[in-house]
Amino acid sequence: PSLFSAQAIAHLLAGIAEMLPLAADLEATMEANPGSAEADKFAGFRAAGINRLSLGIQSFDDGCLQALGRVHDSRQALAAIDMAKAAGFTRFNLDLMHGLPGQSATQALLDLQQALACRPPHLSWYQLTIEPNTLFHKRPPTLPVEDELAAMQQQGEQLLAAAGYRQYEVSAYGLDGDQCRHNLNYWRFGDYLGIGAGAHGKITLADGRIQRYAKTRQPTDYLAADGVRRVGERAIPRAELAGEFILNALRLNGGFSLALFTARTGLAAGALQPQLDNLQARELLRLKDGKVRATDLGRRFLDSVVAEFLGAP
């Protein structure tokens, strides 16, 4: 998005405000790369109404950045953070990865220490995963082994906690209670609009059905479309709702309330009872005062915990 001009972003936000009632405390987040061409526009974006930046730093190690195919270097990353602060962004996020090709636990922790020295209000610190249809999937790099990854995660979490960052989701940490609102909405199975080429959306229809959709992916095709730009429109089958909700909500350290489960899915809380009983007995989940959350053990094996709910009625 930061490839747009500040004037274009201002025009977009003004157009949205004409069509939708916006909250007075609206959080408008923009993802940006830390290259100098984009960082030069930060002050303009702030004046246009963007009040939160998410900077795709990924690493402060130039060797790691080259391995990832990133176009910026560590010097530009640090300069972009300074420019964001100078532009008046009191709320910003740094995206940082660990488990990179050839990366040791020592290197990963040095990366994290550099990020913490910048004192971002929010930090997204997550392990590299290899996605289909990517160069890494076609030509897999040599990644750290499981023991090394475990050491990165454990020591990194200790560093973050000591620096005052509270983990509230699997890979999200906030300083002084700062949390990312739009991600919280996704994790709580809330609705959201997908606007523009390649965008994804989720909406709850008037009859209670929950629908996911995507927009035409290529910008040229999107612009050429004659009115209909949605593709892949699909109502989530009732049998998949519990699994979809759990897949998101259990990522949160605080878990979810059974009341929220019913409100967001239309299913009775009893639909989860067999799985809850089983996982509580195995000390993977805890249910107390109508709230469900993963235990420390459950968070270590969260994929297996979530799998118990997939396909639940």
Summarize pLDDT for 241-299 with one digit per residue, the tens: 999 999 999 999 999 999 999 999 999 999 999 999 999 999 999 999 999 999 999 99
Question: Which structure tokens are listed for 27?
Answer: 């959080």
CA distance 113 to 158: 11
Kindly indicate the confidence band of residue 312, based on its pLDDT and cuts at 50, 70 and 90: low
Whether the pLDDT of residue 162 is over 90: the answer is yes
pLDDT at 82: 95
Nearest to 105 by CA among 144, 64, 66: 144
pLDDT, position 3: 87
Q: Do the Cβ atoms of 229 and 215 come closer than 8 Å?
A: yes
Q: What mean pLDDT is reported for the chain?
A: 92
* H helix intervals, the chain: 6-19, 36-39, 42-48, 62-68, 74-86, 105-117, 135-138, 146-162, 181-187, 219-224, 238-249, 258-265, 273-281, 296-300, 302-307
pLDDT tens track for 178-187: 999 999 999 9
Residue 172: exposure state from Cβ atoms within 10 A (0-12, 13-18, ≥19): buried
pTM, full prediction: 0.91
Of residues 73, 6, 85, 75, the one with CA closest to residue 38: 6
- Find out whether 62 and 74 touch, Cβ atoms under 8 Å: yes
Helix ranges (H only) for 250-285 are 258-265, 273-281
pLDDT per residue as tens digits for the range 187-246: 999 999 998 899 999 999 999 999 999 999 899 999 988 777 888 899 999 999 999 999
Query: How far is Cα 136 from Cα 113, in angstroms, rounded to an integer?
Result: 27
- Is residue 40 scored above 90 in pLDDT? no
Of 21, 43, 22, 17, nearest to 32 by C-alpha is 43
Place of tokens 């963007």: 50
How high is the pLDDT of residue 6? Answer: 95
Euclidean distance between CA atoms 310 and 299, whole angstroms: 17
Confirm if 278 and 285 have CB atoms less than 8 A apart. Answer: no
Give the pLDDT confidence of 106-157 residue by residue, as tens digits: 999 999 999 999 999 999 999 988 767 666 656 666 778 888 998 999 999 9
Alpha carbon distances (Å) from 313 to 142, 237, 308: 41, 10, 12
Residue 136's pLDDT is what? 66
Quote the tokens at residue 68.
Answer: 């990832």
The pLDDT of residue 311: 63
pLDDT band at 89 (very low <50, low <70, confident <90, very high): very high
Strand 285-288 with 256-257, pairing? unpaired
Q: Please name which of 239, 235, 210, 261 lies closest in space to residue 313, comparing C-alpha atoms.
A: 239
Report the largest interatomic distance among the alpha carbons of the chain, rounded to a whole angstrom.
Answer: 57
- How is residue 89 written in tokens? 């962004």
